[in-house]
Chain A
Amino acid sequence: MTAAIEVKAVDKSFGNVGIIRDLNLNVAQGERHAVIGPNGAGKSTTFNLISGHIKPTSGEIRLNGEVISGLRPFEINRRGLSRSFQVTNVFARMTVWENVRCAVLWATGHRYAFWKNVDHLPEVKQRTAQILDDIHLSHRRDVPAGLLTYAEQRELEIGITIASGASVIMLDEPTAGMSHAETDRAVALIRRLTEGRTLVIVEHDMSVVFGLADRISVLVYGNIIASGTPDEIRGNPKVKEAYLGEEVD
C-alpha cells in the first residue's frame, strides 16, 4: 500500500541557513504519527513543507503516491490533506457556524458558485451541523470566532481542519496552552474525529504523544534521528541522549 505521506531527501534553507537537512519521513495509511523534537528542531517547518505553505529547496514529497512538493496549499488541500495551525488561525469576524461551513464548501463541490444560496444547500448544512456537534460548539454557533475562549478557538481550529473530510489530517500542537482537563478533552476529540484517517501531529506534551501515536518520529536540527513505535522511541539511546532525557519514564 502506498504511504499516506512520503517525504524523500527534502532540504529547506532560508538563504544560507539550512533549517531542514535530508528529511525522510514515511506515514502509512491510517497511522497516527507524532513528530516530536526540541524547540527549533524544524517541526513546524516540516508541517509547512508538507502542506505547501513553503516550498522545499530540494527533495520530493508525495501524498498518497502523488508528488505534491511545489504545489500551492489549496492544490494540496484539494488532494486530501488538511492541516491546523499552532497559532489559532480562524476567520475571526465570521461566526463559528460560518467558519466551519466555509471549510465544507469546496469539498462538497460548491467551489466558487455565485448562483447558489449557501443557506439552501442541505448537504453543507448537515455536514456543518455534524462537525459543530462533533467539536461541541453547537451552542456557540452564532458567536463570532474572534470572541470564543482560547480552548474553544482551538477546538474550532480542529473543526475547520477536519471539515473538508480530508484523508490526511495534520495538527500542529493542538493542545498548546491548554489546561490538563482541556487537554484530555482535546485528545479524546482528536482520537474520535481522526478515526479511520491518517493523522500527523506535532506535540510537546509527552503524555499526549505517547497516548495517541502509533508511531513517533524524533526531529533534531532538521533531521529525523529516529522513527518507530512509542516503545522503540522510549528505548532508543540516541533519542534519550538528544532530546528526551529523563522526561520519559
Chain B
Amino acid sequence: MTNPVTTATAATKDESGGTLSFYGIWLIAAVALVVLPLIFSSGGSLTSFSLIGISIIFALSYNILLGQTGLLSFGHAVQYGLGGFLAVHMMNAVASYDWPIPLPVIPLIGGIGGLAFATLVGWVMTKRAGTVFAMISLGIGELVASSSLILRSVFGGESGITTDRTALPHIFGWTFGPQLQVYYLIAFWVMISAIAMYALTRTPLGRICNAVRDNPERVEFIGYDPHVVRYFAYMFAGFFAGIAGGLTAINFEIANSAYLGATQSGLVLFAAFIGGTAYFFGPILGAILVTYLQLGLTNVTSVWQLYFGIIFIGIVMFAPGGIAGILMKHRPLIRARTLGTVIPSYLVAALPTLALVLGIILSIETVARYTASEGEGNVINLVGIPFVATAPTTWAVAVVLVVGGFLIARVTWRRVAEAWDRAATVARDRGYLA
C-alpha cells in the first residue's frame, strides 16, 4: 500500500462502483414517491404520505444540526413555523395582487423565511455549542411561540392565518385543489431537499461540520472557526425547516402558532433521534415511523403520547444509534456472511420479547381505561383478543406476560449478545470490522 499509484486506482474503482449504487438509491426513492399514491390511493393514505414527506424534510433539516454538527436544538420548529407563516402571507399576497408566482415556488419562500430568521438569531446562538446552545434554542423557541400569540396581525392569534392554495396561478392545468396534486408537490420538494441536504454533507463545509461535532477544539487548530461552521449549519437547517413549514402551510392552507411551539420542536428531535442521527437516512426512517405512529396510534389509544415516551426512552437506553444504527450494525456481518449465525438467536428472542411488549401494552391500557373517565369503553382489543379492563383475569394475564416475558427474554437476549460476539469476531478476522 506504500505505492501511491495502486492506492489511487483502488480508490477510483471503489468510487465508481459506489456512484452507481448511489444514484440507484435516489432513483428508486424517486420512483417510489411517484408510484406510492397509485398503489395506496385512498384519501387517508394520501394525507399520511403528504405529512410523512413534510416531516422527512423537517427531520433531515434537524439532523444538519444534531447529527452533522452536534448541536442539540430544542427550538427547531421556530424556523419551520416562521417559514410556514411567510409562505401563507406570500400566498395571500400572490392571490390578492395577481403576482405571477405559481404554488410550487411557495415552499422556497418558506425556506427563505426560515433562513432569514436563522441568519438573524444564529450568530449569537451558535457562539457556543452544548448546553448553552440547547438553552438558548429553548429560550428563542418559547420567545417566538409566545409572541406569535401576541402579534395578532402577523400570526393571527389563536386561530392562525388561513389561505387558499388554489387561488394562485395554475401551471400545466394543475390547480393543487386535489390532495394528489399536493402530494406530488410535496414529493417533488422532498426529493429536491433530500438531495440538496445529502449533497451538503459531501461539501467541504459539510465535512467540517462533522469535525466540529467530533472535536470543536481541534477544528480551531486546522484553520477553522467552529463558530462560523455552526452558524452556517444553523442557517442551512433553518432554510430546509422553512421549506417543510411552507409545505405544511400549503397542505393545511393555514399557519398557526402550534407550528412554532415546543411540541413541534420536540417531535422533530424525537423523529431524528429514533431514526438515528449518525446516518443521513436515519431521520428519514424516524420521520416515517413517528408520523405513522402519530397518525395511527391516535386512532387506537388515548394515551399515545405515553407510547411515544416509552419508545423514546427505549431507544435512548438500548439503541442510542436509533433504527439506522441498529441496521448499520449488521452491515459488517452481512459482508462477512456471518449474519446467518445471529438470526436464529433473534427468532428465539422475538417470542418472549413480543410477550413482554404485549404485557406492557395490556398493563398500560388497563390502567388507562380503569382510571379514565367514562365513555372510553372497557374492552381492550389486543391482537384480536378482547380483554375487559375491569376483569382480574386481564390483570393476571398482563402480569404473567410482563414478568414471564421479561425473565425469559433476558435469557434469550444474553444468547443474542453471545451469538453477536461470535459473529463479530469472525467478521473482524475476515477484515470487515475494525
A and B contact pairs by CB, cutoff 8 A, 25 listed:
A74-B220, A91-B218, A93-B214, A93-B278, A94-B210, A94-B214, A98-B211, A101-B207, A102-B222, A105-B204, A105-B208, A105-B223, A106-B222, A113-B203, A114-B200, A114-B206, A114-B232, A115-B203, A117-B199, A130-B4, A138-B1, A144-B434, A147-B434, A160-B222, A164-B223
In the complex, which residues of chain B have a beta carbon less than 8 angstroms from the beta carbon of A52? 220
CA distance A151 to B214 in the complex (A): 20
One of A74, A91, A111 near B210 (C-beta < 8 A)? A91
CA distance A133 to B10 in the complex (A): 14
In the complex, which residues of chain A have a beta carbon less than 8 angstroms from the beta carbon of B219? 74, 102
CA distance A114 to B359 in the complex (A): 50
CB closest residue in chain A, given B232: A112
A78 within 8 A of B: yes
Q: A91-B211, A112-B208 are in contact. Are A119 and B202 (CB under 8 A)?
A: yes
In the complex, which residues of chain A have a beta carbon less than 8 angstroms from the beta carbon of B213? 93
Asked whether, in the complex, the Cβ of A118 is within 8 Å of the Cβ of B2, the reply is: no
Query: Closest CB of chain A to B302's CB: distance in Å?
Result: 41
In the complex, which residues of chain A have a beta carbon less than 8 angstroms from the beta carbon of B429? none
A90 within 8 A of B: yes
The 4 A-B pairs with the shortest beta carbon distances in the complex, nearest first, are A106-B223, A73-B220, A91-B214, A114-B205
CB closest residue in chain B, given A52: B220
Q: A105-B208, A107-B223, A138-B2 are in contact. Are A112 and B228 (CB under 8 A)?
A: yes
Asked whether, in the complex, the Cβ of B206 is within 8 Å of the Cβ of A118, the reply is: yes
Query: Closest CB of chain A to B209's CB: distance in Å?
Result: 10
A139 within 8 A of B: yes
Partner-A contacts on B (CB < 8 A): 1-2, 4, 7-8, 11, 15, 199-200, 202-208, 210-211, 213-215, 217-225, 228-229, 232, 236, 278, 434
Asked whether, in the complex, the Cβ of A164 is within 8 Å of the Cβ of B434, the reply is: no
Partner-B contacts on A (CB < 8 A): 51-52, 72-74, 77-78, 82-83, 85, 89-94, 98, 101-103, 105-107, 110-119, 121, 125, 129-130, 133, 136, 138-139, 143-144, 147, 160, 163-164
Highest count of chain B CB atoms <10 Å: which of A103, A121, A129: A103
17 more A-B contacts (CB under 8 A) besides A112-B229, A117-B203? Answer: A73-B220, A74-B224, A77-B220, A77-B223, A85-B218, A93-B210, A101-B207, A105-B223, A106-B222, A106-B223, A107-B223, A112-B205, A125-B11, A133-B7, A139-B1, A147-B434, A160-B222
CB closest residue in chain A, given B213: A93
In the complex, which residues of chain A have a beta carbon less than 8 angstroms from the beta carbon of B223? 74, 77-78, 105-107, 164
CA distance A82 to B211 in the complex (A): 17
Asked whether, in the complex, the Cβ of B207 is within 8 Å of the Cβ of A98, the reply is: yes
Asked whether, in the complex, the Cβ of A119 is within 8 Å of the Cβ of B15, the reply is: yes
Query: Closest CB of chain B to A79's CB: distance in Å?
Result: 10
CA distance A85 to B219 in the complex (A): 13
Query: Closest CB of chain B to A62's CB: distance in Å?
Result: 19
Asked whether, in the complex, the Cβ of A82 is within 8 Å of the Cβ of B218, the reply is: no
Asked whether, in the complex, the Cβ of A143 is within 8 Å of the Cβ of B434, the reply is: yes
In the complex, which residues of chain B have a beta carbon less than 8 angstroms from the beta carbon of A77? 220-223
CA distance A133 to B236 in the complex (A): 35
Query: How many residue pairs between the two chains, A and B, have CB atoms under 8 Å in the bound complex?
Result: 115
By DSSP majority rule, is chain B's interface helix, strand, loop, or mixed?
A: helix
Asked whether, in the complex, the Cβ of B214 is within 8 Å of the Cβ of A118, the reply is: no
CA distance A105 to B208 in the complex (A): 9
In the complex, which residues of chain B have a beta carbon less than 8 angstroms from the beta carbon of A106? 222-224
Query: Closest CB of chain B to A66's CB: distance in Å?
Result: 16
Query: Closest CB of chain B to A71's CB: distance in Å?
Result: 11
Asked whether, in the complex, the Cβ of A164 is within 8 Å of the Cβ of B222, the reply is: yes
In the complex, which residues of chain A have a beta carbon less than 8 angstroms from the beta carbon of B229? 112
CB closest residue in chain A, given B278: A93
Q: A101-B207, A118-B207 are in contact. Are A133 and B2 (CB under 8 A)?
A: yes
Asked whether, in the complex, the Cβ of A111 is within 8 Å of the Cβ of B218, the reply is: no
CA distance A232 to B229 in the complex (A): 47
CA distance A116 to B218 in the complex (A): 23
One of B199, B221, B278 near A82 (C-beta < 8 A)? B221
CA distance A59 to B4 in the complex (A): 46
CA distance A119 to B202 in the complex (A): 7
Asked whether, in the complex, the Cβ of A72 is within 8 Å of the Cβ of B220, the reply is: yes
In the complex, which residues of chain A have a beta carbon less than 8 angstroms from the beta carbon of B278? 93
Asked whether, in the complex, the Cβ of A163 is within 8 Å of the Cβ of B220, the reply is: no
CA distance A113 to B214 in the complex (A): 20
Asked whether, in the complex, the Cβ of A112 is within 8 Å of the Cβ of B2, the reply is: no
CA distance A114 to B278 in the complex (A): 20
Q: A51-B221, A83-B221, A164-B222 are in contact. Are A129 and B211 (CB under 8 A)?
A: no
Query: Closest CB of chain B to A229's CB: distance in Å?
Result: 30
CA distance A103 to B221 in the complex (A): 9
Asked whether, in the complex, the Cβ of A105 is within 8 Å of the Cβ of B7, the reply is: no
In the complex, which residues of chain A have a beta carbon less than 8 angstroms from the beta carbon of B218? 85, 89-91, 160
Q: A112-B204, A112-B232 are in contact. Are A94 and B222 (CB under 8 A)?
A: no
Q: A105-B208, A160-B222 are in contact. Are A118 and B217 (CB under 8 A)?
A: no
CB closest residue in chain B, given A76: B221
Asked whether, in the complex, the Cβ of B215 is within 8 Å of the Cβ of A110, the reply is: no
Query: Closest CB of chain B to A104's CB: distance in Å?
Result: 9
CA distance A139 to B11 in the complex (A): 12
In the complex, which residues of chain A have a beta carbon less than 8 angstroms from the beta carbon of B206? 114, 118
Asked whether, in the complex, the Cβ of A90 is within 8 Å of the Cβ of B220, the reply is: no
CB closest residue in chain A, given B222: A103
CA distance A117 to B207 in the complex (A): 10
